[in-house]
């Protein structure tokens, strides 16, 4: 696919303009590398957090992630420039036909873009290039705008971790005659009654609070509705261990998490010694490289049932997700959480509370989305 991006370029006095460009990977499975021929990308933001301002010649954007960068039109306007987004961490020879190409055209451009497309990162013999780039994305501690838990009052390195979960993903396997994906050997199956509503109405048996803190060593994979019981206002460590052969991204609903570390190999207790304790960026979606791990820290100050899931659509569909239950035990009047919306969709054992009849104008797509559940089999 080709498109043209028009920008005002060099003026007579030689001063180029600067534009803010935001790039999102809204795909379902494939990491991208974004680059603009002959131009640097000055990274300034990711997923609501200002970053230290660093120049990149190209930027890896993994599934579900977004970045903002500043582009200065300071190049020669004798020709246009290619803008390229190509697949990453895959067999690139098989993916070249789906490379996205656009053209950056200065307002006083003298001709069409020419020559080969700018090359992607050459990491055939150095698999750490992309990971080192990810590690270089740091939080801007001097930015004056609002950001989650500013370091001036929230120094995450001095807070005691109250819960730690090592979430291991592996290649999908057959469970009960069906292909399933799992975390810690558990493949999540959405209940008929949405989790948060089950809590609110005292429905028993919708889920269990026995999600293992570590992958069971010898247990056979199974389908479950097991939930992490988070401690309200606790500080949780989540370690994503990717023992699959594919790149993975994980999203945490309801929170920004501090990405404190990532490396190849198996995570161990000693891995904490290499964590970034000062300026880890806060974001909602993190990448986990094949045969590697990524660790995040999160302050559980947001009451509710929050989904932690693979952003790779096939893995998510096959059950690679878990929920974190965060309840304020001192809140009998429900003051720390919004009330159930009037247009909530009730499923399973709570279907009698459904306010919409069969002739409702609610779109069919929305009909299958229930509170805090990725699907509902009885709607």
Lowest mean pLDDT segment, chosen from 11-15, 108-112, 115-119: 11-15
Q: In the prediction, which pLDDT does 14 show?
A: 35
User: What tokens were used for 62?
Assistant: 């993994």
Q: What is the DSSP letter of 118?
A: P
pTM: 0.88
Domains of the chain: 5-136 (2.60.40.420), 156-353 (2.60.40.420)
The yes-or-no verdict on residue 10 having pLDDT over 50 is no
Q: What is the pLDDT of residues 167-217, one digit of tens each?
A: 999 999 999 999 999 999 999 999 999 999 998 899 999 999 999 999 998
Q: What is the DSSP letter of 78?
A: T
Q: In the prediction, which pLDDT does 155 show?
A: 81
Nearest to 311 by CA among 58, 59, 61, 34: 61
Q: What is the mean pLDDT of residues 152-159?
A: 74
Please state, in angstroms and rounded to a whole number, the distance separating the CA atoms of residues 109 and 77: 5
Q: In the prediction, which pLDDT does 368 show?
A: 37
Which residues, in sequence order, are bridge partners of residue 353?
none
Phi, psi angles (nearest 5°) of residue 257:
-115, 150
Average pLDDT, the chain: 86
Phi, psi angles (nearest 5°) of residue 11:
-95, 175
Q: In the prediction, which pLDDT does 264 show?
A: 96
Nearest to 344 by CA among 188, 201, 189: 201
Please state, in angstroms and rounded to a whole number, the distance separating the CA atoms of residues 285 and 79: 37
């Amino acid at each position: 696919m080709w498109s043209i991006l028009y920008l005002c370029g060099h003026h007579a006095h030689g001063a180029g303009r600067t534009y803010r460009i935001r790039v999102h990977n809204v795909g379902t499975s494939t990491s991208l590398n974004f680059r603009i021929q002959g131009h640097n990308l000055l990274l300034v933001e990711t997923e609501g957090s200002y970053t230290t301002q660093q120049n990149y010649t190209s930027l890896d954007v993994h599934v579900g992630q977004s970045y903002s960068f500043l582009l200065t039109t300071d190049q020669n306007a004798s020709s246009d420039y290619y803008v390229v987004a190509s697949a990453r961490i895959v067999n690139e020879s098989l993916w070249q036909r789906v490379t996205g190409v656009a053209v950056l055209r200065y307002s006083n451009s003298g001709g069409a873009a020419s020559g080969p497309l700018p090359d992607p990162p050459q990491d055939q013999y150095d698999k750490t290039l992309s990971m080192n780039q990810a590690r270089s994305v740091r939080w801007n501690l001097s930015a004056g705008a609002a950001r989650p838990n500013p370091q001036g009052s929230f120094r995450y390195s001095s807070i005691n971790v109250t819960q730690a979960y090592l979430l291991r993903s592996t290649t999908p396997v057959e469970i009960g005659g069906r292909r399933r994906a799992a975390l810690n050997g558990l493949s999540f199956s959405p209940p008929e009654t949405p989790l948060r509503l089950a809590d609110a109405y005292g429905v028993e048996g919708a889920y269990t609070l026995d999600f293992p803190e570590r992958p069971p060593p010898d247990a056979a994979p199974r389908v479950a509705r097991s939930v992490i019981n988070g401690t309200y206002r606790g500080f949780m460590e989540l370690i994503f261990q990717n023992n699959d052969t594919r790149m993975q991204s994980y999203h945490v609903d309801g929170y920004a998490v501090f990405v404190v570390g990532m490396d190849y190999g198996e995570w161990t207790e000693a891995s904490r010694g290499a964590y970034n304790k000062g300026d880890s960026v806060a974001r909602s979606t993190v990448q986990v490289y094949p045969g590697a791990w990524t660790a995040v820290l999160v302050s559980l100050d947001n009451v509710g049932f929050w989904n932690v899931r693979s952003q790779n659509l096939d893995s998510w569909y096959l059950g690679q997700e878990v929920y974190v239950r965060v309840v304020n035990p001192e809140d009998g009047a429900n003051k720390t959480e919004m009330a159930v919306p009037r247009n909530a969709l009730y499923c399973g054992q709570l279907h009698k509370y459904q306010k919409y009849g069969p002739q409702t104008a609610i779109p069919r797509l929305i009909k299958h989305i229930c509170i805090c559940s990725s699907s509902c089999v009885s709607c």
